[in-house]
Amino acid sequence: MAKAGRKSKNDTIWVAKIPFIGNRLANRIAPKPVVPVLKLAGVIGEGGRFRQGGLSLGDLAESIDRAFENDKAEAVALIVNSPGGSPVQSDLIAKRIRLLAAEKEKPVIAFCEDAAASGGYWLACAADEIYAADASVVGSIGVISAGFGFTDLIEKIGVQRRVYTAGDSKSQLDPFQPENEGDIRRLKALQKNIHGQFTGWVKERRGERLKASDKKLFSGEFWTGQQALELGLVDGLGEIRTICREKFGEEVQLPLVTPRKSWIQKRLGLDSRRSGLDGVPDALLAAAEHRAWWGRLGL
């Protein structure tokens, strides 16, 4: 017997058989559980020197807000597939998710795909529970800065570097000048500060679930999903549909929340990125930079 005030599955079978509108009516009478899904995929940041875009709060804010709009949703799911990127944007996105999760009193569940590394893991830690595939790349809790030096090159081709600054440190880390020990110390101090913010966030979100020393967990090393489970970086292994069905029932719906398009974008099939031949050089450089980020993980 069905509980009072709630329709059983049998009560709605006949409604579902009504042509055209049956399923919609049946879902209103006995709604299926819903878990909105946010997809956080790609390099994190407003865009590097050559990237036209990346994961940023500016681009994601609307989608994040919409994911938490449904008061009847059981939870909000995050699909994370990122090699990392900007620590600032990682923090902004993660904090917005936590703010809305607290306001709406909604649990958040993260699912790692190919990678939740560096800033990608920062995002995953916005969830109350984290799941990964067996072979997902997880971790890389560290800070990196990389560049090139061209001092010998410009000397060989007879080019003189002329730099004029107001401020002793304004030209620090100039790739066309020899490395300066003071610049390196300042850079490492900055990295240490950001690393401390990152590790503090992981400890805040994972707490006693972490099962290894700080030296191991926060070395910048990364692991497979299976290894991450042993270290306490994730809570289980599995993909979104299987886990959500176990938690919320076989009929759980997982609608993907995407940014709304304007009327003209819908009519013409446009997005906000540059298109056409004038965008080819930028696209090639963006692809190279994107490849470099994933290459750090061996992917």
Can you tell me the distance from the alpha carbon of 25 to that of 171, in angstroms, rounded to the nearest whole number? Answer: 66
Q: Where are the beta strands (DSSP E) in 103-195?
A: 108-117, 129-132, 137-139
Instruction: Please give the model's pTM, rounded to 2 decimal places.
Output: 0.76
Residue type, 165: T
Give CA angle at 86 (84, 91), nearest 5°: 95
CA separation, residue 267 to residues 213, 245, 273, 275 (Å): 55, 36, 16, 16
Helix locations, 30-68, DSSP H: 57-67
DSSP class per residue in 69-123 = T-TT-S-EEEEEEE--B-HHHHHHHHHHHHHHHHHHT--EEEEEEEEEETHHHHH
The pair phi, psi for residue 110, each rounded to 5°, is: -105, 145
- The length of the chain is 299
Can you tell me the distance from the alpha carbon of 286 to that of 229, in angstroms, rounded to the nearest whole number? Answer: 33
CA separation, residue 12 to residues 18, 76, 269 (Å): 11, 27, 38
Q: Which part of the chain has CATH 3.90.226.10? A: 32-140+208-295
- Strand 108-117 and strand 137-139: the pairing is parallel
HSE, side-chain direction, 13 A CA sphere, residue 122: 32
pLDDT at residue 258, rounded to an integer: 87
Instruction: Provide the 10 A C-beta neighbour count for residue 158.
Output: 6
Pick the CATH number of 32-140+208-295 from 3.90.226.10, 3.30.70.1560, 3.40.50.300, 3.10.105.10: 3.90.226.10
Which residues are bridge partners to 109 per DSSP? Answer: 77, 129
pLDDT at residue 109, rounded to an integer: 98
Would you give per-residue pLDDT tens digits along the chain (299 residues)? 333 334 445 554 554 556 656 556 555 655 789 999 999 999 998 654 444 457 999 999 999 999 999 999 999 999 999 999 999 999 999 999 999 999 999 999 999 999 999 999 999 999 999 999 999 999 999 887 766 766 777 677 777 777 777 777 666 766 767 777 877 788 788 889 999 999 999 999 999 999 999 999 999 999 999 999 999 999 999 999 999 999 999 999 999 998 765 555 445 555 444 444 444 454 555 555 555 656 666 65
Unique residue bearing structure tokens 């569940």: 109
Both tokens of residue 150?
A: 């061209």
Can you tell me the distance from the alpha carbon of 94 to that of 150, in angstroms, rounded to the nearest whole number? Answer: 37
Both tokens of residue 278?
A: 């004038």
> What DSSP state is assigned to residue 208?
G
Residue 205's nearest CA partner among 256, 141, 297 is 141
Unique residue bearing structure tokens 């850079």: 187
